[in-house]
A = this chain, B = another copy of it.
Amino acid sequence: MEELGVLGLLDLVGIFVFAVSGALAAVRQRLDVVGMVVLAEITALGGGILRDLVIGAVPPAAFTSLGYVLTPLVASALVFFWHPQVTRLLPAVLFFDAAGLGLFCVTGTLKALDHGLSPLHAVLLGVITAVGGGILRDMMSGQIPSVLYDRQLYALPALLGATMMAFAHWLDLHGGIVTTGSAVLAFLLRLLAMRYGWRTPRPRGVPD
């Protein structure tokens, strides 16, 4: 994602925080060090790998960048030795996770547009970039992906940010303000949803 140079650092921050959430899932499931590293890597990189396979950008960025592979290792080492402390910092982890969500839905959408996909399909890939790693993390740790049932607003903020990004692109609006604005929109909606406990609906007639 060279075209996103200035976002490079934020990108690694997002990968780091996603990796922390994968490594913490490994602690909860009582996995060993191998399971922790695998879950950290797949949570951080899985969404982007799925996106790159779909748009034909192979090898995916995760397999050409050193930082993408090493950052989850650092996150794993941290959680391996200090997971009780990391767990106590969970509010901060959730804050940065929301930032990662906002960033990835926007960069995923942009990369898909750059590869010639329609705005609708670029939005779809933006959301996959943002939530795909978490889905793979949950599937590999023997659980239904939390994004499918926990009724938190997680996929929807990503959908909104990706849609704003694709819509601006369709209007021929480009540049850092549009990109940042779309990411911040998803980020803020996610924070507000956590703060006020907003929930997605279940199918009509299914009791809570």
Contact = CB atoms under 8 A, between A and B. Distances in A.
Interface band, chain A? 35 or more
A188 interface: no
State the number of copies, please: 3
A17 interface: no
| Residue from the set A30, A59, A60, A66 with the largest chain B CB neighbour count within 10 Å | A59
A180 interface: no
Contacts of A200: 32-34
B148 A34 contact: yes
Contact of A80 (B34, B36, B81, B203): B203
Interface of A: 26-27, 29-36, 38-39, 49, 53-56, 58-60, 63-64, 66, 69, 79-84, 115, 117-118, 120-121, 124-125, 135, 139-145, 147-151, 154-156, 199-206
